[in-house]
Amino acid sequence: MSAWTGTGFTFFGNVEILPKSILFLRSLEQWVGGLGIVIIMIGVLIHSGTPAFRFYKSEAREEKIKPSVVNTLKKIVQIYLIYTMIGIILFVMAGMPIFDAVNNTFTALGTGGMSIKNANMGYYNNDIFYIISMLMMIMGATSFLTHYKIIKSKGGSFLRDIQFISMVIIIILATIVAVAVTRIIPMDVLYHVVSGITTTGANISSSTEIGAWPGFIKIILVVVMLIGGAAGSTAGGVKIIRIITILKGINKDIINIISPGGRIVNVKIFDKQLKESSIREASTYISLYLVFVLIGWLVLVSYDYDAMNSLVDIVSAESGVGITTGIMSPAMPIMAKLITIFNMWTGRLEIIPVLILLRCIIEIFKGAIPKKTLY
C-alpha cells in the first residue's frame, strides 16, 4: 500500500540486505503508483467516456491534453518516460551508480520517497545528488498539462502556471522562515520542505533527527504536506489549485461584503470564470480531508504517541508523503497500522471515490438484509 500510494513508509529496518530485485520492485511500484495505476488501467481497458472521465477526475487530472482520456493518458506516459530518462542521465553524470540512479529517479519523479538505502538520500551526502533529487521531485509535483505545454512552448509555460509559481513561492518562503527561526542546516530545511510539498517523503535526515526538530519546523512540514503539489501531477495533498480556489472564494466573499449592493464580483483562475460550485467542491473536499486527518491523529494519540509527532506522521500518510518522526515502525499497534494504511489509501484516491465505494457496500449490505413484513 505504501509503495502503490506513493507514500514511501517502510517497516524494513535494513533495506540494504534486501535483494536488488525487491528494491527495484518497490521503486517500480512507486513510479507506476505516482502516475496513477487506476487511470492507467482505465486508459488501457476502457474507451473514453463518462465513467472513465470520472475516475480520471478522481486523480485531479481534469484538464485534458488531448480530446479523449485515452489519448491524454498516452501523452502523459510519454512525458513521464522522457523525464525518467532525464533524471537517470543526470544522476549518472553526477557520479551515481546506474542501479541507484534508476531507483532514485523512479521514487523522486513518482513522488514516492522509498529508498534503496537505510539513510535514504542522506546516504550519499552529496549536494549535487540532493539538487537533482529536488529537481525531479518538483517536476513530478508539476501538472502534466504544464509539462506538455512546456515541451510545445520550449519552457514558456512555467512562468504562466499559477500552481508551479505558487509551489516555488511556498518553498522559498517556508525555507527562509524555517532557517531564520531554527538552527537547522539550510540544505536540510530546503530538502525536506521540497520533499514535503511535493509529497515525496525522501529525506536526508534520520527519523530520529526529524522527531527531535523544534515544533515550529514540524508545523511548517505539516502545512506544506497538507497543501501538496499541483493538480494533474504525481503528488498528493489537497492540491495547490484547491487552496487557490478557496482563497479566491474567501476574497470574493470579503469584496461582496464591503461592496455596494448589486455589484457583481467575478473571480477567475486560468483566465476562466470561477464558479460557485467549484468553490463549494474545494471547500467540501478540504473539509473531508481534514476530518480523515483528525480521525487518524486521534487514533495515534490514543496510543500515547507524542501529539505533534503523531500529527506529522498522519498528515504524511494522508498526503502520501512518507516523512516520519519515528512513529512508523514494526512495533506500532495493529490498529495504528490499519488507520495509517486507511489514510494512505483514502488520500491517494482523493477520498470521494472511497466514500462512493463505502456507500455502495452499505447499500449492498442493506439490500442483503431481508425486510420485516408488517401485518
Higher pLDDT, 289 or 346: 289
Domain that holds residue 59: 15-368
> What HEC string does the chain produce?
CCCCCCCCCCCCCCHHHCCHHHHHHHHHHHHHHHHCHHHHHHHHHCCCCHHHHHHHHHCCCCCCCCCCHHHHHHHHHHHHHHHHHHHHHHHHHCCCCHHHHHHHHHHHHCCCCCCCCCCHHHHCCCHHHHHHHHHHHHHHCCCHHHHHHHHHHCCHHHHHCHHHHHHHHHHHHHHHHHHHHCCCCHHHHHHHHHHHHCCCCCCCCCHHHHHCCCHHHHHHHHHHHHHCCCCCCCCCCCCHHHHHHHHHHHHHHHHHHHCCCCCCCCCEECCEECCHHHHHHHHHHHHHHHHHHHHHHHHHHHCCCCHHHHHHHHHHHHCCCCCCCCCCCCCCCHHHHHHHHHHHHHHHCCCHHHHHHHHHHHHHHHHHCCCCCCC
The contacts of residue 13 (CB under 8 Å, 6+ apart) are 330
For 11-15, 249-253, 316-320, which range has the lowest pLDDT when averaged over its residues?
11-15
Total domains, the chain: 1
Assess if residue 213 is contained within a domain: yes
Assess if residue 4 is contained within a domain: no
pLDDT in tens, 158-199: 677 888 999 999 999 999 999 999 888 899 999 999 999 998
pLDDT in tens, 5-57: 656 677 777 888 989 999 999 888 888 877 765 455 445 444 444 444 444 44
Assess if residue 241 is contained within a domain: yes
CA-to-CA dists, residue 80 to 27, 63, 260, 357, angstroms: 15, 17, 50, 30
User: Is residue 204 within 8 Å of 188, Cβ to Cβ?
Assistant: yes
Q: What is the end-to-end Cα distance of the chain in Å, rounded?
A: 50
Question: In terms of pTM, does the model score above 0.75?
Answer: yes
Assess if residue 1 is contained within a domain: no
Assess if residue 206 is contained within a domain: yes
pLDDT of 375 > 50? The answer is no
pLDDT band for position 153 (cuts 50, 70, 90): low
The whole-number pLDDT of residue 366 equals: 73
